[in-house]
Structure 1
Amino acid sequence: MKQYSVKVDAFEGPLDLLLHLINKYEVDIYDIPVSQITDQYLTFVHTMQELELDVASEYLVMAATLLAIKSKMLLPQKEEEIFEQDPEFEDDPRDELVQRLVEYRRFKEAANDLKEKESSRSLIYARPPVDTSEFTHEDSQTSIGDVTLYDMLAAFQKMSRRVKEKKPKRTRIQSEDVPIEDRMNAIRNQLRGSGKTRFSDLFSEEDRGHMIVTFLAVLELMKTRDVACEQDKNFGEIMIFEREGKASV
């Protein structure tokens, strides 16, 4: 299958992914269930690798760090006593990671505050008013929905598991490569007919190559603001909408 290089701006680094998982599963940042978070983190990284999203080395370094912390926390008591004799031994192997996450969260919140102030300041002009009515409609449609890239990856994971469960043990599938541009046009045409569709309904074929191209096509349509995605609740069905003003594209 043809290789596609897709740059996704929503990824801000491994700490951002960890913070997302902590918020998603509503766990205490000062008492992280390392085993659960590590498993979920590795699942996301593996999915990113399968989709060829060019996973940065820092994600893999964090994965190794999580596995090391998980191993230390699983050590028997006798082995822990040996580590306690080491002057560099930490009472809780999670402490350093927790400090990094708390600091990252603090800077992220500060960055969001600055971004809001920037947005407010951008509304102030030191010149006479001008007619902006022609831009009003487009400005009201700048949102692409409340769904994050992590939510999209989780939906793709669920879809992949469903296909694997339905797929026979032995199968031989022959399929032709589908250019991502063609798949984007097919999704546009599907939305023009109905206005909206469920994310799962886009995967009419169970060929893995076709599934990956479909997923990347949705990401590109979100990036170009041709579609908007919404999710009513965590782990719920993602709905994809055609954005107003894009029907003639």
Structure 2
Amino acid sequence: MSSERYEVKLMNIFEGPMDLLVYLIKKNEVDIYDIPIAVITDQYLGYLEWMKAMNVDFAGDFIVMAATLTHIKSKMLLPVHKDQEDEEDPRLEITRPIIEYLQMKSVAEQLAERNLLGEDVFLRRPAKEEFLVNREYDELIKIDLFELVDAFHRILENMPGDHKVDFSSDRISIKDKISEVVDILEKNGSETFDRLFPANADKGEVIITFLAILEMAKLSLIRITQHVQTGIIRVFYL
């Protein structure tokens, strides 16, 4: 057992504040040129507050984005006078960077898909079946990280009491929890996301379990997928 405080850098989990913003826009299915700034700002701030409750340490650029969204939201709340009707929409301050971000991300993804000289020359691409336990998981897709966070958020919401947890007290370490998850996955080959969380665990252990899963994903020890039809999230041990 250890008395250390557990902290996870948000920049090691998310690509950046723009990534979170794009996710919220897609989640709400809104037009990028007609962003409901009040809704998106409130949800963005909600994510940051939720991450604070989990002892997640996020970089300063997330705070800058929060300030920018709040500033735009305040502008949108001000009444528009007739002599201001031709002024630029305040939301363009964030719309333009989002468009540029999506363009750069699209180019980066296209470049990543190109074959590098000498790459995979001596490697055999594993067949899809090698990742799956049986054919019932044929319709699996790679899950979005934010969807995984949402799934974990729902687990916390089903637990009574405050989400904030004191990590300063002695409890199981993330390293020990990773070992437990590995044992489960080695035994079963794969497991649904929610079953990796102990049924009678307190919130501290539930949060540490989630941080362990994130760490394993970052280290490419596991593959996390979601069934297209049922929405069930499943974790595979690689």
CA distance, structure 2, for counterparts of residue 139 and residue 43 of structure 1:
40
Q: 1:136 aligns with which of 100, 104, 124?
A: 124
Amino acid aligned to 1:150: F
Q: Match of 1:67?
A: 70
Q: 1:47 aligns with which of 46, 50, 54?
A: 50
Aligned residues: CA RMSD? 3.2
Amino acid aligned to 1:69: I
Runs of 5+ unmatched residues, structure 2: 132-140, 163-168
Q: Match of 1:210?
A: 205
Instruction: Name the count of aligned residue pairs.
Output: 218
1:1-249 mapped onto 2 (5 Å cutoff): 2-7=4-9, 9-75=12-78, 77=79, 80-81=80-81, 84=84, 90-117=87-114, 120-123=115-118, 132=122, 135-136=123-124, 146-164=142-160, 167=161, 176-203=170-197, 204-233=199-228, 236-243=231-238
Instruction: Report SS of the residue matched to 1:100.
Output: helix
When residues 241 and 6 of structure 1 are mapped into structure 2, their CA distance, relative to the original with a 3 A threshold, is same
CA distance, structure 2, for counterparts of residue 46 and residue 60 of structure 1:
11
Runs of 5+ unmatched residues, structure 1: 169-174, 244-249
Mapped contact 1:47–1:153 kept (Cα < 8 A): no
Instruction: Report SS of the residue matched to 2:191.
Output: strand
Mapped contact 1:178–1:210 kept (Cα < 8 A): yes
CA distance, structure 2, for counterparts of residue 235 and residue 71 of structure 1:
40
Mapped contact 1:191–1:242 kept (Cα < 8 A): yes
Amino acid aligned to 2:105: K
Q: Match of 2:134?
A: none
When residues 160 and 83 of structure 1 are mapped into structure 2, their CA distance, relative to the original with a 3 A threshold, is farther
When residues 233 and 57 of structure 1 are mapped into structure 2, their CA distance, relative to the original with a 3 A threshold, is farther
Mapped contact 2:16–2:62 kept (Cα < 8 A): yes
- Greater Rg by CA: 1
When residues 15 and 27 of structure 1 are mapped into structure 2, their CA distance, relative to the original with a 3 A threshold, is same
Q: Deviations over 1:88-139 (max 9, x none)?
A: x94421011111111111111122222223xx133479xxxx7x3xx42679
Instruction: Report SS of the residue matched to 1:31.
Output: coil
Deviates most, 199-208 or 28-37: 199-208
Instruction: Report SS of the residue matched to 1:178.
Output: coil
The one of the two structures with greater contact order (alpha-carbon pairs below 8 A, sep at least 6) is: 2
CA distance, structure 2, for counterparts of residue 2 and residue 82 of structure 1:
59
Mapped contact 2:13–2:214 kept (Cα < 8 A): no
CA distance, structure 1, for counterparts of residue 209 and residue 221 of structure 2:
15
Mapped contact 2:7–2:57 kept (Cα < 8 A): yes
When residues 66 and 182 of structure 1 are mapped into structure 2, their CA distance, relative to the original with a 3 A threshold, is same
Mapped contact 1:2–1:177 kept (Cα < 8 A): no
Mapped contact 2:189–2:236 kept (Cα < 8 A): yes
TM-score using structure 2 length? 0.77
